A and B are shown apart, each in its own frame.
Chain A
Amino acid sequence: MKPIIRILIIVALFFRRFGRGRPVPHAIVLTLLVAARFLRRFGRGLRSPVAMVSSLISASLFLLAWEVVARAGFTPITLFPPPSRVVLALVELARSGELARDLKASLWRAALGFLLGASAGVLIGLATGRVSWIDHVLSPIIQMFRPIPPVAAIPLIITWLGVTDFSKVFSIAFAVFLVVWINAHLGAREIPRTFIWSARTLRLHGLALLGKVIFPGSLPYVVAGCRNGLAIAFIMVYVSELAGASAGVGYQISVSQLAYRIDRMIAALAVLGLCGAAADLLLTLVLRLLFPWLRFTTFK
């Protein structure tokens, strides 16, 4: 079965479980099963049991030290809450439904912004990397925007597009686009000449050349760009929610600060970090399924 079909089936199953109003544990079990499958297939790079146990021990020691210091009374417990309080705050957020609401809002924005920005970045990057007149026309314009920190552009974007979801998605897509574009552009330029020559003697032209040689030939760079872009999408989703949002993990952090709920702030931060890590893992796994040859090849 083609990997793309396999991914679609997994996604469809996932949403079917949610859609029928089944209890959430079903979805969790399914996720774990899928994760276990992935780990079995791609887990060769995992560290040895000794390394895993020792990292587990050091992490628990860190949490224990944090707990002891926070409860020792050097600082007010509300200002520097121990991890147990953070977990309680997380449970509270989950019980009240705020966590689900915030996650839904944030992840939706991040995903849409990433997809829009990354696809535009890849398409335009391949075009500017391979076609010299497009390069001459577009690259100077894009290069003008590249030194601007995208975070600094958010007030302007809000002024022009309003405090809407659209302005948030747009600012995420803008930031992702810039980093994915430069990678795709370089990747397309750095394709070994031999591949292009081979394609010409095999009479691959136009779309076939793009799909069969130029896109896969620049893929190692594109993948690196997309992983950077995903990290930036999570930065941007937080920043864009600081102003004019009514839901989202970033919104939760700023509201909790106003309410002086430090434990909630830390809980939301942890959720944001976990989401970023999970998204990166998911992206890597999807790319490995779609492009299994990346594992065997280093032509750069």
Chain B
Amino acid sequence: MPTQGPRTGESIQITVEGLGVSYDGHDVLRDVSFSVYRGELLAIVGKSGSGKSSLLLALAGLIPRLGEVDIPGDIGFVFQNYAAFPWMTVRDNIGAGLRRLRHPKREKVADALLRLHREPLRVEAAGYRQKLWRTLALRRIDHAYRRRLVKWHIDLVDLTDHADKYPGQLSGGQVQRVALARALAPNPLVIFLDEPFGALDSYTRDRMQAWLLNVYEVEHKTMLFVTHNVEEAIFLSDRILLLGQGGIPADFSVPFKRPRENSIRYHSDFVRLKQQVAEQIIKCQ
């Protein structure tokens, strides 16, 4: 197995060896092995019932699994349905994973802030009072940091005007954008997307794909993208894994350069690859 990714010299981030998942005694997945390179956008395609979603859930540790899996601890997950919490505003949804986040230089900032003040906040004035002010300052610093981060992600997903709305007031595409921002905000190493645009109409779907590519250009995370739509898989990904009974029967690399324009969908290489993948899907039983 090559250790160098299709993108220049990336190292391996996820290794999966002999992964198995079973529900109620019957195997959904058996003996699946592959690796994912750092910063790669990997699409996983397959027939419905081939266990695409179970693969992501098992890798994320949300359902029990067998086999050897080497994966970073912090991951983000975007689901198809119930993607955002309907009881939180867009702002609170995106901040939901940041509760414990702290400013990386909080101590320094707090010291600098306290030094700026005169009485009664002198750093030299030791005692409970100084400790109290310091604790309060640290809290404010972390809070402001989290708020800034949330704001940045709201702008990233173009929801600036909807920050205080609830998901029930948004369109399907906007909700999926909230979900992606919520998964991105804690800055995980890997993002899992389980048919995130599966419930959207085809126009919205195209717009969301172009828009996901933009986010990918900005954030450049490792992404695992599950879909049953071959065109979507080719348009977005660097590599496509075909998931079937008995592991991964085929593996396609996608040669198109980034950033990608919508027009490559009509390119002859694109259409040929699409045909190739579709035939393989039908073949694998």
Contacts and interface: CB of A to CB of B under 8 A. Distances in A.
Contacts, number: 67
Contact of B182 (A197, A202, A295): A202
B86 A299 contact: yes
A296 B162 CA distance: 15
B100 A203 contact: yes
Interface stretch (B33-41, B74-82, B152-160, B273-281): B74-82
A86 interface: no
Contacts of B81: 192, 194
A219 B62 contact: no
Interface string A183-222: 0000000001011011011111000100011001101000
A293 interface: yes
Given A194-B81, A195-B85, A201-B76, A297 B168 contact: yes
B57 interface: yes
A202 B167 CA distance: 18
A292 B77 contact: no
B57 A197 contact: yes
Interface string B23-66: 00000000000000000000000000000000001001010000
Interface residues of B, number: 25
Main secondary structure of the interface of A (DSSP, over half): helix
Contact of B79 (A197, A219, A291, A299): A197
A202 B168 CA distance: 21
Interface residues of A, number: 23
A185 B151 CA distance: 37
A293 B86 contact: yes
Interface of A: 192, 194-195, 197-198, 200-204, 208, 212-213, 216-217, 219, 291-293, 295-297, 299
26 contacts: A192-B81, A194-B79, A197-B57, A197-B60, A197-B79, A198-B77, A198-B82, A198-B83, A198-B85, A200-B62, A201-B62, A201-B75, A201-B97, A202-B96, A202-B186, A203-B100, A204-B96, A204-B97, A204-B99, A208-B99, A213-B85, A293-B87, A293-B88, A293-B166, A296-B169, A297-B86
Given A204-B96, A297-B87, 4 more contacts: A198-B82, A203-B186, A213-B85, A293-B168
